[in-house]
Structure 1
Amino acid sequence: MMSTGGLISHAAPLLPGAETPPVTRDAGREAAERELSKPQYHENDPSLLDRALAKALRWIADLFDAAAGAAPGGPLGLLVIVVAVALAVAALWWRLGSPRRSLAGPGSLFHDGVRSADDHRTAAEAHAAAGRWNEAVQERMRAVVRSLEERTLLDPRPGRTADEAAAEAAASLPGHTAELRAAARAFDDVTYGGRTADADAYARLRALDTALDRAKPLLTGPTA
């Protein structure tokens, strides 16, 4: 037979009104984590892309801060250096044109078989009438060189470039040296430099073609 004190001590937690055992720290943390893991608490969280972008921006900011600390004059000195580099890149781009030009390199004038100077002139005029100035400039330059070949002022040579043709033609037509070089540069710019010609560029080439057709060459014969 158990004592009365023992019965009361064993049944006390089951009686109404008895105190609830205290919640431990680990149990409280787990309950809080379960509550905060519910979707409604994360509806406005930044996306993975937003978090990655924010991290990248912080990295860039830290990089510039470090560079500013190392650059003479601090942030102002760094700004001056950045502007100078940007201006240098812009100047090189303007002078050399698109990188495609250096990758491709100057190629030969003719790619599609032998056509007469008049054939090239007709093609050039058709392109010009349609506003295709790049193609018009290319065909007119081909007409200039083919005309010089037909007059034996240049020897027909496969693979000749516009620059080579201009330099060779200047030997017998020295009065048009500058115009020939400008025409070759215009051809290279639109063909390999990624630049765009216009009506004025084509008009200059057409005028050169007409002037060369009337010009009297020096009696030196075709260039070798």
Structure 2
Amino acid sequence: MSTGGLITITAGDTPPLTTGREAAREAAERELAKPIYHQDEPGLFQRALDRFWEWVGELFDRAAGATPGGGLGLLAIALVVVLALAALWWRLGTPRRTAHSSGTLFDEGPRSAADHRAAADAHAAAGRWNEAVRDRMRALVRSLEERTLLDPRPGRTADEAAAEAARSLPAHADALRAAARTFDDVTYGGRTADPAAYAALRTLDLTLDRTKPALPEPR
């Protein structure tokens, strides 16, 4: 009750509760830490993704500001670059490995000429012309090795085999070079063989198998 501006507390009155500042802060932190207050917040991945796109936007804005004409100028530069790349692609075509002669002719253990011929014919019968061409060229070279017209040498390339074989079979030098080129184009150049390419190699193989080597000229 109040008397003359003074407040007196009777026995039935309850004094107000007071909470310290530090205790109030801790209580608020505990309350706000409850999952119910955070269930609608974005996850860590989403926040990182949002931050990334903000960075991209800032980067684009800075680039646009430094480019004459602003964003329109930046778009024009990007369009020129795209057109230049398209023209280069059209001029050069799809990138492919250039045919070369650094690859070895035989990439597996020793097999006889007859083995390679049988494999080549099996590939041809199944329409696998790339494999047929490769095995027929290997059969041709292995046959020359078996006849001692070529020395067996690991790591020999198709071009090297053709050049060496042409010394004892000069009448077929052009056909040997063409066969080596076909092998390289199919094996390393990304080309696709066809029945005609295989038929030419098969004919050359069988022809050389029946051809006697040229005698060395007397010194």
Q: Tell me if TM exceeds 0.5.
A: yes
2:96 aligned residue:
95
Residue of structure 1 aligned with 2:47, choices 28, 44, 51: 51
Counterpart in 2 of 1:210? 202
Cα distance in 2 for partners of 1:169, 1:58 equals: 68
More helix by share: 1
- Matches of 1:150 and 1:165 in 2, distance apart? 13
Asked whether 1:39 is paired with 2:39, we answer: no
Q: Distance in 2 between matches of 1:54 and 1:163?
A: 58
Change (3 A) 1:110 1:179: closer
Aligned position for 2:174: 175
CA positional deviation for 1:158: 2.0
Indicate how the Cα distance of structure 1 residues 86 and 208 shifts in structure 2: closer, same or farther if over 3 A, else same. Answer: same
Could you say what secondary structure the match of 1:146 adopts? helix
Give the corresponding residue for 2:185.
185
Equivalent residue of 2:52, what SS?
Answer: helix
Give, in angstroms, the shift of residue 20 of structure 1: 9.6
User: CA offset at residue 219 of structure 1?
Assistant: 5.3
Distance 1:53 1:142, change over 3 A: farther
Residues 175, 111 of structure 1: alpha-carbon distance in 2 compared, 3 angstrom cutoff? closer
Deviates more, 1:80-89 or 1:51-60: 80-89
Q: Tell me the CA shift for residue 143 of structure 1.
A: 1.8
Letter in 2 for 1:94: P
Partners of 1:89 and 1:137 in 2: CA distance: 30
Give the letter for the 1:38 counterpart: K
2:155 matched residue in structure 1: 159
Instruction: Select 1:118's aligned residue among 105, 114, 117.
Output: 114
Q: CA deviation at 1:133?
A: 5.6
Structure 1 gap segments, 5+ residues each: 190-194
Deviates more, 1:114-123 or 1:82-91: 82-91
1:68-147 equivalences under 5 Å are 73-81=73-81, 84=84, 94-96=95-97, 106-129=102-125, 135-147=131-143
- Two-structure CA RMSD over aligned residues (Å): 4.9
Farther off after superposition, 153-162 or 80-89: 80-89
Deviation at 1:208, TM superposition (A): 2.6
- Match of 1:96, SS state, is coil
- Say which SS state the counterpart of residue 7 (structure 2) adopts: helix
Once the two structures are superposed, the pairs formed by residues 8-27 of structure 1 within 5 Å of their partners are 8-11=6-9, 15=13
- Structure 1 residue 157 displacement after superposition: 2.4
Q: Counterpart of 1:94 in 2: which secondary structure?
A: coil
Find the counterpart in structure 2 of residue 192 from structure 1: none
Q: Distance in 2 between matches of 1:70 and 1:96?
A: 40
Native 8 Å contact 1:106 1:161 kept in 2? yes
Unpaired runs of at least 5, structure 2: none
* Per-residue deviation, 1:129: 4.4
- Partner Cα separation in structure 1 for residue 196 and residue 56 of structure 2: 50
Moved more, 131-140 or 75-84: 131-140
Residue 9 of structure 2: SS of its match in structure 1?
helix
